[in-house]
Amino acid sequence: MSDFVSGFWDMYVRVIVLASILACGVFLWMQSKGAPAVAAGAEAEKMDHVWDETLQEYNNPLPLWWSYLFYITVVFALVYLALYPGLGSNPGMLGWTSHESQYGAEMKAADATYGPIFDKFAKMDIQAVAANPEAKQMGERLFLTYCAQCHGSDGKGAKGFPNLADADWLYGGTPEKIKESIAEGRMGVMPAWGPQLGAEGVKDVANYVRSLSGQQTDSVRAARGKDIFATNCVACHGPDGKGNQAIGAPNLTDNIWLYGSSEATVIETITKGRTNQMPVWKNFLGDSKVHLLAAYVYSLSPVKAEPAAAPAPAAAPAAAPAEAAPAAAK
């Protein structure tokens, strides 16, 4: 309610809410007064409504206990609105808010309970955390909560979402690079080359790209595509097509494809480009949880990268052909 841009809507909400509650109370009072009292043993007033030949409607008053319950709800609603926010921008006499009063208190209680545990692992090296069974269990729960929607519960990804359980890393598989990817996020952009290369040019370079990983291609088109690749693609993917982890450009010489390796898919990637984003998690999770997550993701890969490793080895898998780095840690 704090987002109102004028006092009119604030007052509008207050009037509607109060009028609705008071109208319920008045209607209940009028109905209670309108129904005639029925003496003990006497028959209530009959109405002019009969169903199924013998089913007669009577004008019986509500039982007192039932009427009192309705009155109590009206009084409760008025007291609640006086104490808690609900009338437009009025904060209520208690000043309670869902964010500060409830969520804040719950977070403080959680920090008091779990904070020391997170702090203990935050002071440890990521490789040591990855080898700790308790830390791995905590990291797995974090992964299943925040990462499995894209990368799968087993970390093996899906079309457009990188596999985190193999030895291929677009931005690097060192503990530091994995933590950087999770904390800072990634934005992978493969430009659309269709307008510049034309349909035939795209098909030629697609055949060349597929030939780099040993797939069956049209040799004539692949030969023409080699020149196009050398002119337009080497800046990101390198003259040998093995990519560049510094910018997340994938290796095109292996058989790992983020979007698929068919000729049609490669043509689509080159023609339309790709844009993927890995969200920034540091602000939401905090450094301690990012540290645990990085350790867990690091533990998924069967081949551990050396801390000082730079470019990916020649056999390292990569993403889709001629596409920019996907929005993920790998």
Query: Residue 107: inside a domain, yes or no?
Result: no
Q: Which of 20-29, 51-60, 88-97, 293-302 has the lowest mean pLDDT?
A: 51-60
Residues in the chain: 330
- Mean pLDDT on 101-130: 88
* Residue 326 pLDDT level (bands cut at 50, 70, 90): very low
The total number of structural domains in the chain stands at 2
3-class secondary-structure state, position 248: coil
Which of 269, 322, 327, 319 is CA-nearest to residue 150?
327
| Residue 71, pLDDT above cutoff 80 | yes
Same structural domain, 154 and 278: yes
Query: Residue 103: inside a domain, yes or no?
Result: no
Same structural domain, 18 and 142: no
What are phi and psi for residue 48, nearest 5 degrees? -90, 35
| Residue 314, pLDDT above cutoff 70 | no
What domain range is 253 assigned to?
114-330
- Which of residues 83, 106, 122 is at a domain's end? 83
The pLDDT assigned to 61 comes to 72
Same structural domain, 308 and 174: yes
Q: Which residues contact 236 (CB under 8 A, 6 or more apart)?
A: 243, 244, 247, 249, 324
Same structural domain, 129 and 72: no
| Residue 330, pLDDT above cutoff 70 | no
Same structural domain, 79 and 199: no
Same structural domain, 63 and 123: no
166 alpha-carbon distance from chain centroid: 24
The pLDDT assigned to 304 comes to 59
What are phi and psi for residue 249, nearest 5 degrees? -75, 125
The pLDDT assigned to 82 comes to 92
The pLDDT assigned to 39 comes to 57
3-class secondary-structure state, position 51: strand
| Residue 321, pLDDT above cutoff 60 | no
31 alpha-carbon distance from chain centroid: 51
140 vs 61: which has the higher pLDDT = 140
Tens of pLDDT, residues 11-67: 888 999 999 999 998 988 887 765 555 555 566 677 777 887 778 887 777 778 888
Same structural domain, 253 and 162: yes
Query: Residue 108: inside a domain, yes or no?
Result: no
Tens of pLDDT, residues 246-289: 999 999 999 899 999 999 999 999 999 999 999 999 999 999 99
182 neighbors 171 (Cβ within 8 angstroms): no
Residue 214 sits in a domain whose CATH number is 1.10.760.10
pLDDT above 90 covers a percentage of the chain that reads 62
The DSSP annotation for 138-156 comes to HHHHHHHHHTHHHH-TTS-
Residues 176, 255, 264, 221, CA torsion sign? positive
The pLDDT assigned to 324 comes to 37
* Residue 102 pLDDT level (bands cut at 50, 70, 90): confident
Query: Residue 321: inside a domain, yes or no?
Result: yes
Query: Residue 316: inside a domain, yes or no?
Result: yes
Same structural domain, 213 and 264: yes
Tens of pLDDT, residues 149-180: 999 999 999 999 999 999 899 999 999 999 99
Q: Mean pLDDT score of the chain, rounded to an integer? A: 85
Query: Residue 243: inside a domain, yes or no?
Result: yes
Same structural domain, 151 and 248: yes
Q: Which of 33-37, 114-118, 119-123, 280-284 has the lowest mean pLDDT?
A: 33-37
Rounded to the nearest 5 degrees, what angle is found at the Cα of 210, between the Cα atoms of 185 and 206? 85
The pLDDT assigned to 42 comes to 63
The pLDDT assigned to 3 comes to 58
Query: Residue 109: inside a domain, yes or no?
Result: no
Half-sphere exposure of 274 (CA within 13 A, CB side): 28
Rounded to the nearest 5 degrees, what angle is found at the Cα of 81, between the Cα atoms of 78 and 83? 110
Sort strands 274-278 and 46-51 into parallel, antiparallel or unpaired: unpaired
Same structural domain, 41 and 119: no
Same structural domain, 231 and 135: yes
The pLDDT assigned to 154 comes to 94
Q: Which of 6-15, 75-84, 132-141, 311-320 has the lowest mean pLDDT?
A: 311-320
3-class secondary-structure state, position 197: helix
Tens of pLDDT, residues 170-220: 999 999 999 999 999 999 999 999 999 999 999 999 999 999 999 999 999
Which of 195, 165, 184, 162 is CA-nearest to residue 323?
162
- Mean pLDDT on 293-304: 88
Q: Which residues contact 241 (CB under 8 A, 6 or more apart)?
A: 209, 212, 229, 233, 251, 252, 253
How far is residue 47's CA from residue 59's CA, in Å, rounded to a whole number? Answer: 7
Same structural domain, 19 and 141: no
Query: Residue 44: inside a domain, yes or no?
Result: yes
